Amino acid sequence: MSDPTTDPLARVVREEWGRLVALLLAQFRRLDLVEDALGDAVEAASRTWPRDGVPDNPAGWLMTTARRRLLDRLRTEEVARRKQPLLATDAERHQQGARTMADPGAVLEDDLLRLVLMCSHPALAPEAASALSLRLVLGVATPDIARLFLVPEPTMAARITRAKKRIVGAGIPFAVPDASVLPERIENVAQTAYLAFTAGYAPGSGPDLLRAELAGEAVRLVRTTLALCPDEPVLLALLALVLLQHSRRDARVSDGRLVLLPDQDRRRWRTDEVDEARRLLEHPALAGPIPLLAASYTLQARIAAEHALAPSSAETRWDRIVRLYDALLGLAPSPSARLARAVAVAEDRGAAAGLEALEGVEVPGSHRPAAVRAELLARAGDTVAARAAYDQAIAACRNDVELQHLRERRQSLG
């Protein structure tokens, strides 16, 4: 797909894909056909628009073309007397009949919310839900989703197809659920988006900047959902969190090497994203008592904001960060939060205090506790123990970039 800023087709696909999918699903209830029909329409547009000019209503053009494809398919099925199962939708759907892109706001946005909720349904495996959301809500291409999740393309294509089959087969509806369970379901959307986001930053087998860019699609998923539910605490907090983390992407890697937070060139952080995140954190919906997941995202975002706002690494307010980690551990104790707190304690009160805070912290399958211990032991001057801890971290590390960093650190001990 070419650049959405210059190519009108790329732009309408990027901006309207989810709404088009939602409208087609609302009308035809055929999850197995909608994506192909829309893909055909985009393909047709790529041939005819350059020749005939871009239509006045590009999204409407795609909708009409896709709808025609779908009707053709349904007619073929009729001839073959083979009826496929339909997607379940909420009851009101049945009376509403066909709709077009000309329909005003609210109804259309309801359909988009139905799509978002369906894709992140808790009865789907989390990774399948993430992939399906990127595909159906945002129109991210399957090869890109495969790269994001570090799986081969055919594996990802199969995963998406299986998820679509399961939705229809299990009766997962294209519907907005009862108000009593809607907040829970919005939390599922948040977790689904965050899983996709963290996949973009998960250590791969090599340096791959593109994957951080793909994590930006997860940010877009949060943004899209927040636009549908503008005062939802969990989405406000999550958008702030991912924006702050994502704002550092350009500074994280230099010449294919990982650059740790203290060494990052802060001028390369995206200040517009940091500013937006700060505004989100001041939203009144985050001021009062909020549900656990929203509170956890808020605290994590406030920690990231402390880093983002420090003029230099040396001026970081580690005392405040330690307090935020204390609050976070009070909400939801996790080994990785304890590890991060130990790092903050070491910065605030010295290596010995950090080592004490690190006591008993284990993250299964991770080299990080050993790597932090090694670093703190080196700072405390215990070279022998530091070397042993580096060896332990190196043995457990699976990421090329981090591995190189650990080897260099061990070497520098002399």
Partner 1 sequence: MKYLVLLMGDGELKPWSDHTEEEQLEAMGRFQAFDAACAAREGVEILGGEALGDPADTTTLRTRGGQLQLTDGPYAEAVEGLGGFYLVEAPDLDVLVELLRVLPPYDMQVSPVVEVPM
Between 170 and 202, name the residue whose CB sits nearer to partner 1.
Answer: 170
Residue closer to partner 1 by CB (options 85, 143) is: 85
Cα angle 230, 134, 85 (rounded to 5 degrees) comes to: 105
Question: Could you give the count of Cα atoms lying within 13 Å of 161 in the half-sphere of its Cβ?
Answer: 7
Round to whole Å and give the CA distance between 237 and 301. 7
- Closest contact distance (angstroms) between CB of 177 and partner 1 is 5
Nearest 10 degrees: CA dihedral of 223, 259, 354, 377?
160
Q: Judged by CB, which is closer to partner 1: 178, or 255?
A: 178
Nearest CA among 167, 143, 165 for reference residue 156:
143
**How many other β-carbons are positioned within 10 Å of the β-carbon of residue 33?**
19
Q: How far is the CB of 74 from partner 1 (least distance, A)?
A: 16
Q: Rounded to whole angstroms, how far apart are CA atoms 335 and 263?
A: 25
Q: CB of residue 121 vs partner 1: minimum separation in angstroms?
A: 8
Which CB, 154 or 171, lies closer to partner 1?
171
What is the smallest separation between the CB atom of 170 and partner 1, expressed in angstroms?
A: 6
Write out the E strands in 35-147: none
Instruction: Give me Rg for the CA atoms of the chain.
Output: 24
Least distance in Å: CB of 292 to partner 1? 19
User: Which is closer to partner 1, CB of 91 or CB of 102?
Assistant: 91
* Cα end-to-end span (Å), the chain: 51
Nearest-approach distance from CB 233 to partner 1, in angstroms: 23
The answer for 224, left when phi > 0, alpha when psi is -120 to 50, beta otherwise, is alpha
Largest CA distance in the chain: 80
Q: 172 vs 328, which CB is nearer to partner 1?
A: 172
The contact set with partner 1 (CB under 8 A) reads: 83, 85, 88-91, 121, 123, 169-173, 175, 177-178, 180-181
- Neighbour-count burial for 377-404, b at 16+ CB within 10 Å, e otherwise: bbebebeebbbebbebbbebbebbbbbe
Query: Using DSSP, how many helices (H) and how many strands (E) does the chain show?
Result: 20, 2
How far is C-alpha 108 from the geometric centre of its chain's CA atoms? 24
Question: Could you tell me the smallest distance in angstroms from the CB atom of residue 182 to partner 1?
Answer: 11
Q: Which CB sits closer to partner 1, 120 or 245?
A: 120
CA–CA separation, 330 and 299 (whole Å):
11
- Distance in Å, CB of 174 to partner 1, minimum: 9
List, as own/partner pairs, every contact residues 184-188 make where C-beta atoms lie below 8 angstroms and the sequence separation is at least 24, other chains included.
Answer: 185/117, 185/120, 185/121, 185/122, 186/225, 186/229, 186/232, 186/234, 186/235, 187/234, 187/291, 187/293, 188/117, 188/120, 188/121, 188/122, 188/129
Minimum CB distance to partner 1 smaller for 165 or for 279: 165
Q: Which residue's CB is nearer to partner 1, number 29 or number 73? A: 29
Please say which residue, 65 or 89, places its beta carbon nearer to partner 1.
89
Q: How far is the CB of 86 from partner 1 (least distance, A)?
A: 10
Residue reference for tokens 């090329």: 400
**CB of residue 37 vs partner 1: minimum separation in angstroms?**
23
Query: Are 113 and 228 spatial neighbours (Cβ–Cβ below 8 Å)?
Result: yes
Q: Of 87 and 340, which CB lies nearer to partner 1 in the complex structure? A: 87
Residue 88 C-beta: closest distance to partner 1, Å:
4
